[in-house]
Amino acid sequence: MSTYVYGPLHSVMVEHRIVSIKQGKRVAYFYMAKGMFNTFMQYLNEGIYLFMMVNDHEKRTKGVMTRTVESLDKIIFPDRQNPRIYYDINIIKSGIQSIMNGTQPKLFLDLEMSMPPYQNYEKFISEIIQCGMVLVDNEGHVLENHNEFIKPTLNKELSSRTKKFLHITQETIDAGIPYLDFYRILERIIKTKRPMIVVWGQNDIIEIKKSTQVHHLPDLTRNVQFIDLLKLHKHYFGLKNDLGLFNAYKLYTESVPEQQTHDAFEDAMFTKIIFDYFKKVCNGEIKTVNFETNEKVNH
């Protein structure tokens, strides 16, 4: 079970990531996970008020009885008529909701990259070898799909690690399109549709930027609105760890594909489906998911 607690900060044991708050005449102690503590440590100063959801189970930590903080929802400094809000999850959720309800077209993008060999990999540079793209209008209607294998330029021969992980053959890549064709497809979509580009994690953005540098082409990531759906999930649900695309898809849809194939187009479709579910969660239309316990809960 969990309890919502709040009160003025009493003390901070930095080394042990323990904070205490005053509840009437009593002082209660709470333990924070490393990621949470590091995120909020800059705000843990005298005079602030903490609003937290904590686990009811008590345990002894460094000589004091503590309960674990499950989420930190608000940090304020009560400055008379003008309280200073340092952090408020409701404000963050409202901002995320605005992003999800944006009316511009959306491009759901996923890329697969070449992987280094098991040996002699010091100078290896990964390259984009498959792209999956799903472009939709502001009502969610699909305008175009792209599922292309892309010939690498720097290392034309795939490593055995790449073939094994992605379940592809050298012949498949050899029959793919040149990198420049992929670049032109993405460039055309960006220039004509000006979409919000939705990805899962930062890797694809980094790889696009790197690939344009390798090919001495203008950077396609400049002045483009990229939305990292993984990052939005972490902020919205207060997740301590990264959430896998495959696991998010299973939890939202309650269906289990046969296996994760690491196919760029399939993952782009998964990203779109997760986006649609997450938008409904943000708008209070469906039950959400507790990604820590893998359970459906009321929003």
Rounded distance, CA 115 to CA 158, Å?
8
* pLDDT value for 294: 55
Choosing from 54, 88, 122, the residue where a domain stops is 88
CATH number at residue 275: 3.30.420.10
Residues 253 and 168 in one domain: yes
Judged on CB neighbours under 10 Å (0-12, 13-18, 19+), 201 is middle
Q: Give me the domain span that covers residue 172.
A: 101-297
Choosing from 31, 60, 88, the residue where a domain stops is 88
Residues 152 and 57 in one domain: no
Q: Is residue 20 part of a domain?
A: yes
CATH number at residue 76: 2.40.50
* pLDDT value for 299: 42
Residues 20 and 163 in one domain: no
Let me know how many helices (H) and strands (E) the chain has, helices first.
9, 13
* pLDDT value for 137: 96
Residues 241 and 118 in one domain: yes
Rounded distance, CA 248 to CA 274, Å?
7
Q: Quick one: CA torsion of 131, 136, 142, 146, rounded to 10 degrees? A: -10
Contact 146, 131 (CB under 8 A): yes
- Regions of the chain where pLDDT drops below 50: 298-299
Q: Is residue 59 part of a domain?
A: yes
Choosing from 36, 54, 88, the residue where a domain stops is 88
Tokens of 38: 């590091």
Q: Which residue has the tokens 């005298």?
A: 46
User: How many folded domains does the chain comprise?
Assistant: 2
Contact 143, 166 (CB under 8 A): no
